[in-house]
Amino acid sequence: MPKVAVDDIDLALLGALQADARAPIADLCKAARVSRGTAYARLAQLRESGVIQSLTVSVDPYGVGLSLAAVMLLRASTEKFWRWSDFASKFDEMPEVEFAADLAGEFDMIMLARFRDADHLRAFVENDLRRVSGIAGIRTFLVLNETPRRSWLLPHPKR
């Protein structure tokens, strides 16, 4: 949960930054319908509170040669109780993993990973995932198409 209450002005600023992180302040003001002072103050508050974590480049994975995407469902072994923190740092170290999450239900974890080709996927499963202590099962689904293709979502403004 954010440490500050995010309102429609903040959402408009965030949406404009997501569209173009290099947008000039005048464009941000126009998108949020606020003055420069208000925009600067709101952006500072969003940064300080951690709502804005960074301004970054959104890269098309297919454009940089990562043409194979896979969703993987993982099961933890039952020999002991495994906490998410036992796995999270390992997933952070794997450059192929775009997203990983702890689940409730039939599977214990889900991840989205990206690869150059099938050989890269095979090597990842054999050399990386199967060597992680605590993973008992891996179910892999190849992604055929992705939509919508966005790296993050914002809530819709209140109407």
- pLDDT at site 86: 87
C-alpha distances out from residue 49 to 29, 52, 96, Å: 20, 8, 30
**pLDDT tens per residue, range 38-48:** 999 999 999 99
- pLDDT at site 4: 74
pTM of the model: 0.76
**pLDDT tens per residue, range 127-137:** 999 999 999 99
Which DSSP symbol is given to 131?
G
Q: Which residue has the tokens 């055929």?
A: 144
State the DSSP H helix or E strand holding residue 42, giving kind and residue range, or none if neither.
Answer: helix 36-48
Question: Residues 136, 142: contact at Cβ < 8 Å?
Answer: no
Question: Residues 72, 129: contact at Cβ < 8 Å?
Answer: yes
